[in-house]
Structure 1
Amino acid sequence: MSSETLFPFSAVVGMDDMGLALCLAAVSPAIGGVLVRGEKGTAKSTMVRALAGVLPPIRVIEHCRFACDPADPDPQCPDASRHGIDGSGKTGEAGGSDAAGGVVRPLRLVELPVGASEDRVVGSLHLDRLLSSGEVSFDPGLLAAAHRGMLYVDEVNLLPDHLVDTLLDSAAMGRARIEREGVSVTHAARFVLVGTMNPEEGELRPQLLDRFGLAVDVAASREPEVRVEVVRRRMRYEDDPVGFVNDFARQEASLAARIAAAQQQLRKVRLPDEAITAIAQICAAFDVDGMRGDLVTARTAVAHAAWSGRDMVQDEDIRVAARLALPHRRRRNPFDDASAAHDLDEVLDEALPEPPDEGPDDDPGGPDDDPGGPDGSGGGKPPEPSEAASQPDPPSDGPDSAEAPSGAPGPAGSTAGAQAGAPYRTRLLTLPHAGEGVAGRRSTADTATGRQVRAVLPGDPRGRGLALTATVLTAAGRAADSARAPGEPLSVAPLDLRRAVRRGKEGNLVVFVVDTSGSMGAAARIREVKTACVSLLLDAYQRRDKVAVVTFAGSQATLVLPPTSSVELAERLLAKVPTGGRTPLAQGLEVGYEVVSRERARDPHRRAMLVVLTDGRASSGGRAALPRARRVAEGIRATGTAAVVIDCEQPGRGIRLHLARELAGHLGAQHLDLDQVAAGDLHDAVRRRSVA
């Protein structure tokens, strides 16, 4: 579909805070981009693509692959020789056809697919030239294409971490630097970065989350009238795209003019010392780590003042900026029930005790901008960002939501025993060696789509696919030693071939073997154990693992949940598990390994890990119970099955027996105390092992 028939930005209903954040980032790209978090089907991608259509066009130097500005060309641009810059700084004939120099073209929206390789993102060697003439030349990637435009990453939380790091570093510095395979290149890379994600599919790491300037949580309206209008507009658009776009042409033109005016006004806006002091007080009181929150809030306040047509930042601008820039930066466990919006309102009221009367319209000129819209549906003034941008998402219907996980206590009156508490973010448990498993986000693996870490000879079993650049460079090196005539095409011989070793992440089968016997002590301790298990289950869901749950108590072990990807079901069943009785430790280990063995036959590419939560006691079977459990553990160790033992022995009750630590030794497993499961305690457990 052509750009003229994209769904209009102004026609989107009920997404005012997202619209405001996107417009402010477009006014001031220095803000650092926007992260939009929300459930599926909330017009996230539609709004991003529509915004690119209303942003002002840009002037570029003709034939420059890096979109340099004729008025301020990049002296380090790899295409500087094509600029045709004379001593006055103006472009000559090579630079464009009009008096101002350069050519005018629409702003680009570059979309980065989740499966993109690092070469596609940052650029690579120009293979055509290398093969034809042996010339080493840089071929730009998506970062160069997005310069002075927008870079859109849908499902950014599914993008490999090393690519997210690259994107955010370039967005923060305004430059991309490539040092690889004998090529050293730097070029300007200033763009509006927009990422969208569904939190149910897993959160971004806190370090990456902090790098996004603004974050907005969106959710579909629960108001029937709003939902009706969404359906009505979408169906009208599908029936007659051109007519629908024409109906909103006036609103789109008004929005484009407002963005352009705000961009011009931005350099005129003053940020007084009083405003900077207020921002610092707000960030300190809101427990924001680092200084990035202060800087982004200040930049956003300046952009909002320009957006509102003012030449000085006011309290209103600071309030709007804080609600968009700070909630995702607060120091807290990501699985906490977020009350950040309410806390932030209290902080703002204290730092800005006398909010001004309602000032200029904060509507981004986007969704529902014109009360007298073409269909008469209107929309009026949007709510303040506090009503949506900084509010947590409404609880989802299913307990697998990362924003409202279902590990909370079950219904009142439950007779299932101690219930799990609210889950927390856990440390990363990984298998100790790189594998070759299925795609996921837990353990290190040699994959077909990960980051290339080396090139190997064709006979090396670690190689997957052709390492094209390494092959060509090997051929070029061989040709350089021969008597190849200048301009003669490069030939590639079989001995030049190299294969790529790519390193990525895999999903695993995580089998939880949970001791629910009476030896675990009081209900409070069982609650802690179940809470840890639920937290680990939620982490497994977000890392694309399959999970199984085995519990043991009394005289038997029970497979509560066969291997599944439904963590929702695992949490629900675990909450119903009764506790008490003797401790059949050996049976628990046997059933856990049986699950691993059966699943290995069904899915040999998915590596497994046993996570045993126990105090190490074994009382079912008399005196032979403990020796039997140790023999079973040693048998499991002999199979090479990875394991982690989480020690649930209660502290403060006399002499500790350290039976769980001994069990870990027999299993060849990593040993962790229960209070070390939460992230942030020392180093991640299995990372202390040497990685092959």
Structure 2
Amino acid sequence: MDTRQEAATVSRTGSRTPTFPFTALVGADELTSALLLSAISPEIGGVLVRGEKGTAKSTAVRALASVLPEQRVASECRFGCDPDRDEDCPDGPHEGAATTRPARLVELPVGATEDRVVGSLDLRRALGDGEAAYQPGLLAEAHRGILYVDEVNLLHDHLVDVLLDAAAMGRNTVERDGVSISHPARITLVGTMNPEEGELRPQLLDRFGLTVHVAASRDPHVRAEVVRRRLEADLDPAGFAARFADAEAELTARLAVAREAVRRVALDERTLRTIARVCAGFDVDGMRADIVTARAAAAHAAWEGRDHVTREDIRAAALLSLPHRRRRAPFDAPGLDEDLLDRLLDEEPEDDPPGGGEEEPDGGDQPDEGPGEAPDADPSGPAPSSTSSDDQPQTGPQSSADPTPDSPDESAEAPESPPSPPAGAQPTPTGTAAATEPYRARRLELTGVGAGPTGRRSPALTPRGRVVGTHPAGHEPAGSPVHLTATLRASAARRAARTGPARVTGDDLRHAVTRGREANLVLLAVDASGSMAARKRMAEVKTAVLSLLLDAYQRRDRVGLVTFRGTGAELALPPTSSVDAAAARLAEMPHGGRTPLAEGLTEIARVVARERIRDRNQRALVVLVTDGRATAGPDALARAQAIADAWGHTAETVVVDCESGRFRMGLAADLAHRMGAEHIALEQVAASGLVEIVTDRTASRRSAA
């Protein structure tokens, strides 16, 4: 391994263990394509890698840094600027000596604060010298390199916004704590995530330039080769890296050439109209998809050594830039119909209507091809990656990619249920019912003030929010921001009392107490028994629960699903951040049989107690959807009432009453009273239903007056 490559593998902790070579990756063609395109043109806006656990997502990102070309940097610049380029740097102009260094890979931990990311006031200089100096953050360190965020879906939304803004603008602007500064931050942003742990919101998905879904190969030969190379790398890291050193050096040289060539790639009018037709054909929102696709197509052309964009460049770019932009509703799955993509690419511009009509610019310079002259698919695309040769693996952008495993036309609604039995058939004890379109649910929140993770549901003391007080030095919770005004007041009061030094000291520090909203554990407990089994009624119940899931998604909650029917209860979905998984389990939920209400309440209490041990700060909201009947086991109703009486402070609960018909027994209302829970009818789950109730009551009071 040469000196440059060895230096590139040095991590932030100082380890010199060689990284797994980028060219040694097997079965990850689409992933390596996206990473290389983003490295060629950072203006694309970064890459989001979605995939199941154990699919080498992190390995590929860390390996990319070792093949990036070396950089010339200004010696005295805190931001690592290019001395040959005017970057409007606060440390400029750069007229001194320059040095050469490998491209940086900066990893952002999930628990990072905004101060650490964007930079903040240098407290040492502020307290010692009274100077409002800027301390650069991770965005400054990652300038001209890679900023890698593992588990980006678990990062706070405001931090994701900050990162995506910097990736799109190429600059980081800080206006806080007496600091006003703007510095270059041209980063290649790469985020990885496991969808099982929760999805990114559609507005954040759209901000990533490219996305790729990674899944483990089902080909035994490919899987065996992956295992073989991993074992070899673990047994002899240096020897394995040396084996691929030539391929790595060749890839680095090709990257450097492509980075220079991408500026000269031509995007003519016909190409831009083709890209616009493709994006419009997939009905994506906004214009970001068109811009990203154009940049990615130019990068692909530069990688292939062309000075103009071809059909295959557009196809390769669209496969990476459009799938995640098809996701509009929270429960939509990303995906792309490749047959539709090919039809849009082969579609010819319409002729001008006879007798005039809207003219197309430069139409005469681009003669249309005949109907039989459409270009063949994949005329020059390289072959898929092969694992037959260990020394020459195929790595790089591909003109074709494996089909996206997610269906492009899946809707936010639950999957279709199995067909119902024909008329006159013997009824079965179980069945399924499909939910309809979810609606906006009424707001349910916990009483009191919590201290859980930041969210949008219940009042809590959080790291961000409205300042309601201060903590003295040494008593502040982790992550609480410094309250500058209170700190200066404490210092002034101490000096007035003539105690201690005349400057601000650590004992003068005051930290803000901020009040905002927290995310909660929302445990949905659904009665799926025969008393709820009327198909129309169960469809209404599932729609209400799906609407509550949508509300939990918007409020950043964790969700769990308990169902009870027949003779017992089960935890259908352990508490998770993935409301998509909860929606899928809800769609599959059968119904029918007796009503084991006591067993359901016992399972709910067990889940809440277990989650409280795991995180004492996260409060639980139980939403119990039932008609209150209990028919399973001896003395079923009495056992259920006894458990409800002993519910105590297990969790705050809302009982959604599903009883219907003219004559009602009121069992759910009695259950809610025994549990000290709020009682609402199923029809009141919708926010519009609540508005109608309030409106009717107001009108009645006015008429009575």
Is TM more than 0.5 here? yes
Change (3 A) 1:550 1:267: closer
Matched, 1:529 2:541: yes
Q: Secondary structure at the match of 2:50?
A: strand
1:386 corresponds to: 401
Q: 1:78 aligns with which of 86, 90, 108?
A: 90
> Is the 2:44–2:296 contact (alpha carbons within 8 Å) kept by the matching residues of 1?
yes
- DSSP 3-state at the match of 2:471: coil
Counterpart position of 2:39? 26
Tell me the residue number matched to 1:63: 76
Contact 2:278 2:344 in 1 (8 A): yes
Instruction: Specify which of 242, 245, 256 is matched with residue 246 of structure 1.
Output: 242
Within 5 Å, give how 1:552-571 maps onto structure 2: 559-561=569-571, 564-565=574-575
Letter in 2 for 1:13: V
Structure 1 position 611, deviation (Å) = 1.5
What is the aligned-residue RMSD (CA, Å)?
Answer: 5.2
Q: How does 1:332-481 map to 2 (within 5 A)?
A: 332-333=328-329, 335-336=331-332, 340-342=336-338, 344-345=340-341, 347-348=343-344, 350-351=346-347, 354-356=374-376, 358-362=378-382, 373=389, 375=390, 378-379=393-394, 384-388=399-403, 390-392=404-406, 415-419=428-432, 421=434, 431-432=445-446, 435-436=449-450, 443=457, 446=460, 450-451=463-464, 454=467, 456-458=469-471, 464-465=477-478, 467=480, 469-470=482-483, 474-475=487-488, 478=491
User: TM-score by structure 1 length?
Assistant: 0.75
1:114 alignment partner in structure 2: 110
Deviations 1:535-566 (A, max 9, x none): 9679989977473625479xxx9644499548
Q: Distance in 2 between matches of 1:237 and 1:404?
A: 43
- Greater shift after overlay, 588-597 or 525-534? 588-597
- Among 124, 128, 132, the alignment partner of 2:128 is 132
Moved more, 453-462 or 264-273: 453-462
Q: Secondary structure of 2:86's match? A: coil
Q: Residue 305 of structure 1 contacts residue 313 of structure 1 at CA under 8 Å; is this kept in 2? A: yes
The one-letter code matched in structure 1 to 2:430 is: G
Higher relative contact order, structure no. (Cα contacts within 8 Å, ≥ 6 residues apart)? 1
Letter in 2 for 1:47: A
Cα displacement string for residues 635-655 of structure 1 (whole angstroms, at most 9, x for unaligned residues)? 98x9795445657578xxx99
- Asked if the contact 1:57/1:105 (under 8 Å) is kept, the reply is yes
SS in 2 for 1:187: strand
Aligned 8 A contact 2:153 2:199 in 1: yes
CA separation of 1:665/1:442 partners in 2, compared to 1, >3 Å: closer, same or farther? same
Please list every run of 5 or more consecutive structure 1 residues that lacks an aligned counterpart in the other structure: 86-90, 97-101, 395-401, 621-625, 684-692
Aligned pair 1:172/2:168, yes or no?
A: yes
8 Å CA contact 1:37–1:198 kept in 2: the answer is yes
Deviates more, 1:475-484 or 1:277-286: 475-484
The CA deviation at 1:523 is: 2.3
Deviation string, structure 1 residues 359-417 (Cα, Å, up to 9, x no partner): 545589xx76xx885x45755998644315x44399xxxxxxx9999977589999551
Equivalent residue runs for 1:570-581 within 5 Å:
578-579=591-592
**Residue identity opposite 2:122 in structure 1:** H
Task: Give the unaligned 5+ runs of structure 2.
Answer: 1-5, 10-17, 349-370, 422-426, 632-636, 692-705
Pairwise CA distance, 1:289: 1.2
2:204 to 208, 212, 218: 208
Choose the corresponding residue for 2:137, options 135, 141, 158.
141
Shift in alpha-carbon separation, 1:231–1:599, aligned structure 2, 3 A: closer
CA deviation profile, 1:67-101 (whole Å, cap 9, x unmatched): 222233333x332xxx3x3xxxxx43xx21xxxxx
Distance change in 2, residues 1:264/1:440 (3 Å): same
Please report the TM-score for the alignment, with normalisation by the length of structure 2.
0.74
**After superposition, what is the alpha-carbon deviation per residue over 1:249-297, rounded to whole angstroms, capped at 9, x for unaligned?**
2211111111111111111111111111111111111121111111111
Q: Which secondary structure state, in structure 1, belongs to the residue aligned with residue 337 of structure 2?
A: helix
2: distance between equivalents of 1:114 and 1:379?
Answer: 33
1:528-677 alignment runs, 5 A limit: 529-530=541-542, 533=545, 545=558, 547=560, 549=562, 551=564, 559-561=569-571, 564-565=574-575, 578-579=591-592, 605-614=617-626, 642-644=652-654, 667-668=677-678, 673=683
- Paired residues in the alignment total 633
The aligned amino acid for 1:74 is E
Contact 1:154 1:197 in 2 (8 A): yes
Matched with 2:20 is 7
Once the two structures are superposed, the pairs formed by residues 226-237 of structure 1 within 5 Å of their partners are 226-237=222-233
* Residue 323 of structure 1, aligned match among 319, 323, 334: 319
Q: Deviations 1:27-66 (Å, cap 9, x if unpaired)? A: 1111111111111111111111111111112222221112
Alignment partner, residue 265 of structure 2: 269
State, as a whole percentage, how many aligned pairs show the same letter.
43
Residue 228 (structure 1) shift:
1.3
Say whether the 8 Å CA contact 1:466–1:497 is kept in structure 2: no
Letter of the 2:238 counterpart: V
- Alpha-carbon offset, residue 12 of structure 1: 0.6
Bigger drift between 429-438 and 187-196 goes to: 429-438
Asked if 1:260 is matched to 2:272, the reply is no
Q: Which moved more, 1:231-240 or 1:153-162?
A: 231-240
Distance across 2 between alignment mates of 1:335 and 1:132 = 52
Contact 1:341 1:386 (8 Å CA) reproduced: no
Q: Is the Cα contact below 8 Å between 1:199 and 1:403 reproduced in 2?
A: no
Please give the alpha-carbon distance, in whole angstroms, between the structure 2 residues aligned to 1:655 and 1:408: 31
Alignment-mate amino acid for residue 621 of structure 2: M
